[in-house]
A and B are shown apart, each in its own frame.
Chain A
Amino acid sequence: MWRYIIRRIVLQGIPVLLGFTFLLYLIITIAPGSPVTHLRGVPDLDTAVIAQREAQLGVDQPFLVQYVRWLGDIVRGDLGLSFDSARRPVATLIKERMPATIILSLSSIVLGWGIGIPVGILSARYQYSIFDYVITFFAFVGISIPSFFFGLVLLYVFALTLNVLPAGGFFMAGEPHTFLGYVRYLLLPAMTLGLSSIASVARYMRSSLLEVLNEDYLRTARSKGLRENIVIYKHALRNALLPILTLMGFMLPTIFSGAVIVENIFTWPGLGSLAIQALNERNYPVIMGINLMFAVLIFLGSIIADVSYAFADPRIRYE
């Protein structure tokens, strides 16, 4: 197992992450304007000074040299300094914002799997019933409704009209961090982000279970006289749940993408709102750091999904 994980990281993860950093660096480098552009407008400023500044920042070097140097810094954990006036290290900024994004994403994953799986099971169990049709329809609604619109509707109903939940943010200054407080602030953003996961997990669960229900070993189970509930919940379900595990790895990028928008609607203090703020300020080191952070998180998520799949299914041997 360990050998598989290590091989997966070395052979697949590192090339993909390297490719990603290269692409990212290329995009940022070909961006119009350089870190010294603003100096060109300053009167009485000698071109020699500009050249000196360029040399200081290393932007006079060829692209590949710059890239390798930047990569070296990153490997050592140095993501550079933010461009804003405080000049704080990007790594610190990201560390501050990361927990909020992780909490939000995790709770929407819990919602997605916690609601999606039972709903999908029941939908398959009672295939072609009214319940099944209703669920299938709502699953379509769930994957089609844009998160920013659904978020605004939730805001309108629960925060602005009924006034039962906060309209955004995450704990006022001085407010005690109680469990109930977490739930109150998390509920709307997590629902907004989780809706599409609920819908797609339910759809996958339904079709996965229906597929398993056609297998020979279920006919055997039925023909030896087991009750339908035992056949489904014990024999079929275990096998039908396996493909759902891999879904986790696939859905992580979607969830993080959604988090950017959802954090923005609910002014949630995570990486997503930091990204928008940095983009508005053209704060490239921060933007690069956030892109990188998300790529690493997604990569880790896909490894966890693969490994748990291998653990759960004894038929899989990764030697």
Chain B
Amino acid sequence: MMKQISQSKKIWKRFCRNKLAVLGLVVLIFFVVVSVCAPFLTDYDPNRSDLRKRNQPPSEAHLFGTDDMGRDIFARTLYGGRISLSVGLVSVGISLSIGVVLGAIAGFFGGMVDTVIMRIADVFYSFPFMILAITISSIFGPSIYNTMVILGVLSWPSSARLLRAEFLKLKNTDFSLAATTIGAGPARVMFRHILPNAISPLLVSATLGVASAILSEAGLSFLGLGVPPPAPSWGNMLNRARPLHILATMPWMWLPPGIAIFVIVLSINFVGDGLRDAFDPRQVMD
């Protein structure tokens, strides 16, 4: 137990040496806190429109102004963060659960099972994600839950590939052979003994996965095939601001959601990169 604490402390210390990663983490925590506390930070209901106050520029009453239906953009940006973050987390959760199980099975058992699973992964890997996502979304009808499922189901192959490679590397190590020798069944060896040793690359890929899921959700919603209005999502806010006259004369409608997506994805990428370096055992600690 003592050993483990010192190990995670070492990783944390290495993480902290990367200034951009620390900055990313701070910004990310800020975003999470701000969107979770949205009801305390604004009195406006993000979905309530006030037709007397349409297209208003930023003012004291409306920090980021109002949109073409008189809804408060500040409130919509805050609440939109909840949707973006939850879609990101849930869809990565889905893709990890599929990818971990299939990748582990493929890597551990090898042979025919491996070939079949990896060929299926190839199928998912070799077509343009966005086209299939919009196709499925339009067939089943855009909704926040469908968006989560689509993004999760379409992106499992990358974690499966990663985990398969780790399992191939680890299944013949002494500790997993020892576990088998003392009578542990395959499931126990796979998930109790090997998986914990493959956790660090998985954590890095999950972190970066959240960033790309947030981007994809916003992209889908931007095309009108992700989170449907009136629920606020950064993507569908940008979609609403696309008419050229809004774009040209009312930048307060599209700058806040656009900057929010950009900053949150950037900070998650910084954190993921920092984690990768921190987990890398080749990095010597001085």
Among the 9-residue stretches B7-15, B71-79, B97-105, B241-249, the one with 4 or more Cβ atoms under 8 Å from chain A is B241-249
Distance from B51 Cβ to chain A, minimum over Cβ atoms (Å):
26
Query: For B251, what are the chain A residues with a Cβ–Cβ distance below 8 Å?
Result: 156
B197 contacts the other chain (CB 8 A): no
Query: For A260, what are the chain B residues with a Cβ–Cβ distance below 8 Å?
Result: 128, 130-131, 134, 223
A15 contacts the other chain (CB 8 A): yes
A264 contacts the other chain (CB 8 A): yes
Residue in B128, B258, B269 whose beta carbon sits within 8 Å of that of A140 in the complex:
B269
Q: Once bound together, how far apart are the Cα atoms of A149 and B237, in whole Å?
A: 11
Known: A144-B269, A156-B248. A15 touches B126 (CB 8 A): no
Q: Once bound together, how far apart are the Cα atoms of A304 and B280, in whole Å?
A: 34
Across chains A and B, the number of contacting residue pairs, with CB separation under 8 Å, is 133
Contact B135 A19, beta carbon cutoff 8 Å: no
Among the 9-residue stretches B56-64, B85-93, B161-169, B211-219, the one with 4 or more Cβ atoms under 8 Å from chain A is B211-219
B138 contacts the other chain (CB 8 A): yes
Q: Once bound together, how far apart are the Cα atoms of A28 and B123, in whole Å?
A: 17
Binary per-residue interface labels of chain A (242-283) against chain B in the complex, 1 for a CB within 8 Å, 0 otherwise:
000000000001101110110011000000100110011010
Q: Once bound together, how far apart are the Cα atoms of A153 and B242, in whole Å?
A: 11
Contact B126 A28, beta carbon cutoff 8 Å: no
Q: Once bound together, how far apart are the Cα atoms of A276 and B142, in whole Å?
A: 14
Contact A257 B128, beta carbon cutoff 8 Å: yes
Q: Once bound together, how far apart are the Cα atoms of A147 and B241, in whole Å?
A: 15
Contact A167 B244, beta carbon cutoff 8 Å: yes
Q: Once bound together, how far apart are the Cα atoms of A298 and B135, in whole Å?
A: 18
A290 contacts the other chain (CB 8 A): yes
Residue in A16, A31, A264, A291 whose beta carbon sits within 8 Å of that of B119 in the complex:
A16
B129 contacts the other chain (CB 8 A): yes
Residue in B127, B129, B242, B265 whose beta carbon sits within 8 Å of that of A152 in the complex:
B242
Main secondary structure on A side of the interface with B: helix
What number of B residues sit within 8 Å (CB to CB) of A? 44
Q: Once bound together, how far apart are the Cα atoms of A137 and B242, in whole Å?
A: 29
Query: For B242, what are the chain A residues with a Cβ–Cβ distance below 8 Å?
Result: 152, 265
Contact B139 A146, beta carbon cutoff 8 Å: no
B132 contacts the other chain (CB 8 A): yes
Q: Which of B20, B140, B219, B270 is packed against the most chain A CB atoms within 10 Å? A: B219
Binary per-residue interface labels of chain B (37-53) against chain A in the complex, 1 for a CB within 8 Å, 0 otherwise:
00000000000000000
Binary per-residue interface labels of chain A (119-158) against chain B in the complex, 1 for a CB within 8 Å, 0 otherwise:
0000000000000000001001101111111001101100
Q: Once bound together, how far apart are the Cα atoms of A260 and B134, in whole Å?
A: 10
Contact A148 B266, beta carbon cutoff 8 Å: no
Considering the complex of A and B, which 10 residue pairs feature the smallest CB-CB distances, nearest first?
A257-B130, A149-B258, A144-B266, A19-B123, A256-B128, A160-B248, A279-B138, A31-B139, A144-B265, A257-B128
Interface residues of B (CB under 8 A from A): 20, 119-120, 122-123, 125-132, 134-136, 138-140, 211, 215, 218-219, 222-223, 225, 235, 238, 241-242, 244, 247-248, 251, 254, 258-259, 261-262, 265-266, 269-270, 273
Q: Given contacts A149-B259, A279-B225, A291-B131, could you give 13 more A-B pairs where the C-beta distance is less than 8 Å? A: A20-B127, A24-B135, A146-B219, A148-B235, A148-B238, A152-B254, A161-B248, A253-B127, A275-B134, A279-B138, A294-B127, A294-B131, A295-B127
Interface residues of A (CB under 8 A from B): 12, 15-16, 19-20, 23-24, 27-28, 31-32, 137, 140-141, 143-149, 152-153, 155-156, 160-161, 167, 253-254, 256-258, 260-261, 264-265, 272, 275-276, 279-280, 282, 287, 290-291, 294-295, 298-299, 302
